[in-house]
Structure 1
Amino acid sequence: MEKSRFFIEVAYFGKNYHGWQVQNNAISVQERLNDALAILLRVPTETIGAGRTDTGVHAKQLFVHFDADSTGILANPDRFLHALNGLLPHDIAVKSVLPVHQEAHARFDAVRRSYEYHLHFEKDPFIYAYSSFLRDIPDVEKMNKAAEFLLGKQDFSCFSKSNTQVFTNICTVSRAEWIWESEGKLVFHITADRFLRNMVRAVVGTLLEIGIKGKPISFMEEVIASQNRSMAGTSVPAQGLYLTEVAYPYPVK
C-alpha cells in the first residue's frame, strides 16, 4: 500500500536531550519521537525535521515529516494526536498533524526560521533551566546597533562550529534585535532563511562582548569580515535558546 506524507508540529524542552537528531550513544528528541510513532503505527517510522537543535536547546515549534498509511489512525487526527502525546515523555509534545503532498520536505522546503535567546538578571532557581543568567545588564542600544551588521545575505563562517558538513556558510538574516520583555527578561530575536550549527549562540556571545565587555559596535563588522570563528565571542549556554518558528511557502497548520 502506498504511504502518504504528513507534517507534525513538535515542541520540546531540551534539557534532557542531546539535541534533536538521533545519535548512537545519547538520547535525542528524534529518537523518542521515532519510537513513539513506531509503537502507534505498528511499523518502524523515520522522521525528518526542519533542522537540528544542539544539546539542551529548546523548540517551541519544529516541523517534522514522515510517511505512513493514511487509512489507519491518521484518518482521525484528534485521536492520533491524543495517542501520540500519550506515548511521548512530558517534555515533548505534538501540537498538530497535517497531510501534505508527497514531495513536501520539512527541512528543504523551509524558507524561514526564527530563534530567541533569553537572558535574566536576578538569580532565580525556578527559571535557570529556561533562561541564561547574567549578573550585569548589557548596553542594549549598543548591541542593537551592532546587530544591524548581521542583516542581509553574507558569509557567517565566523559563527559556525568547525568541521560541519554544509555546502555553504552563506545565510540571509532578516531580523536581529534585542527586546526587553516582562519581568526584566531580555530576549534576542533572530530570523534567517537558514542557520549554521551553533550560529545563534555564537552571535549572542559576540554581541555580549560589545554590550558588556566594552568592544566597539564595529567589532561585529570585523568579526563577520574575518570569517574566523576564533574572532567571535564564546558561545552562550544552551538553556536560553529556543527555536520559535519554521515557515514554509505553503500552509502547514
Structure 2
Amino acid sequence: MRYFLELSYDGTHYSGFQVQDGQETIQSAVTKALEILFRQPFSLTGSSRTDAGVHGLQNFFHFDSSLELIPKHKYNLNAILPSDIAITSIYRVADDAHCRFDALQRSYKYLIYRQKDPFMVNRGWLFPYPVNQELLDRMALILMEYSDFTSFSKRNSQVKTYICDIRSSYWEQGSNGALTYRIRSNRFLRGMIRGIVGTMVRIARTEVSTEDGEQLFRAVIESKDCTNADFTTPAKGLYLESVVYPDDMLQLIQ
C-alpha cells in the first residue's frame, strides 16, 4: 500500500529536506522515526526539495508498506520526532500516486522584517533599508508575463526545461513595514524564489525611477543568465506554504 505523509517543519537546524550522506535532514529524521516505530526499513520520496534553513508549512513524503496505518500512528510518530517537525496527516493513496510528479502547483512565501525582532531571527530576513514599494509591486506583476526563468535558476540544476507557469506573484505589506512576497506556480527551479526576491529587492533599493527599475528587472529575466540575478537572500525567510494535488487523490486515515 502507498501512503502520503503530510508534515510541517522549522528548517533552521536541518541541512535541507532531502536525505544527504552524513547530514541531518527532514527526510532522515522522518525515516528514523518510522523505523523506530515500526522496526523495519522505509524508503521515502519527497514532494518538494527545500534548502538548508528553509521552512515548510506543508510538504509531503510518500512510501510503500505492507502495514495498515491507523490514526494512532500519527500520534506515535510525533512523539518520536523532534519538536521542530510535525506529521499533520496520513493519507492512503493509489499505488501509482507520486507526491512529486502528481502535484498540480506549489505556493511559497518569503518574509522580510524591517526592525530588529528576536522572534524573527530564524524566520525572516532583516532588511531595514528603504525600498520602492511601487516598484516591488510592478516587478511582481512583470514576472507573470514570462515563462522562461533561466536567470533565476542556480547553475548545475540539471533540469530539462526552465519553463514555469507562474499563477500568482505579489507583495503584501504588514505591520512595522514588514513585507511578504507570495508566489504560486506549477513548478520551481533550484534557488528560483530566493533569486527572484533578491533581485527585486536589490533593484527596489537603488535610486532609480519605477520605470527604469522595471526595465532593469526585465533585462535580468530576458538575459537568461543567472549571474545577473541576486541569490544572496537568506534561506530562513523562505517558506513552502502548500502543495496542491488533484481532488479526491488523498484519502485521510481517520
Bin of the TM-score, shorter chain as denominator length:
over 0.9
**Alignment partners' CA distance in 2, 1:60 and 1:182:** 22
Partner letter of residue 140 of structure 1?
Q
The TM-score, its normalising length taken from structure 1, stands at 0.93
Q: Report what 2:142 is aligned to.
A: 149
Q: State which of 217, 220, 233 in structure 2 corresponds to 1:220.
A: 217
Q: State which of 151, 161, 164 in structure 2 corresponds to 1:168.
A: 161
- Spell out, residue by residue over 1:93-132, the C-alpha distance to the aligned partner (whole angstroms, 9 max, x if none): 0000010110110000001001000011111122111111
Q: State which of 38, 43, 46 in structure 2 corresponds to 1:41.
A: 38
**Post-superposition shift, 1:152?**
5.1
**Post-superposition shift, 1:222?**
1.0
Task: Trace 1:1-253 onto structure 2 (pairs within 5 A).
Answer: 4-71=1-68, 74=69, 76-77=70-71, 79-151=72-144, 154-182=147-175, 184-214=177-207, 216-251=213-248, 252=250
Number of residue equivalences? 246
Q: What is the percent sequence identity of the aligned residues? A: 39
**Alignment partners' CA distance in 1, 2:194 and 2:93:** 33
SS in 1 for 2:62: strand
* C-alpha RMSD of the superposition: 1.4
Contact 1:111 1:193 in 2 (8 A): yes
**Alignment partners' CA distance in 2, 1:15 and 1:111:** 27
**Alignment partners' CA distance in 2, 1:181 and 1:7:** 34
**Post-superposition shift, 1:227?**
0.6
**Alignment partners' CA distance in 2, 1:83 and 1:192:** 34
SS in 1 for 2:73: helix
Q: Any gaps of 5 or more consecutive residues in structure 2?
A: none
The TM-score, its normalising length taken from structure 2, stands at 0.93
Q: Any gaps of 5 or more consecutive residues in structure 1?
A: none
**Alignment partners' CA distance in 1, 2:207 and 2:119:** 31
Contact 1:146 1:207 in 2 (8 A): yes
SS in 1 for 2:187: coil
Contact 1:147 1:220 in 2 (8 A): no
Partner letter of residue 187 of structure 2?
R
Contact 1:65 1:105 in 2 (8 A): yes
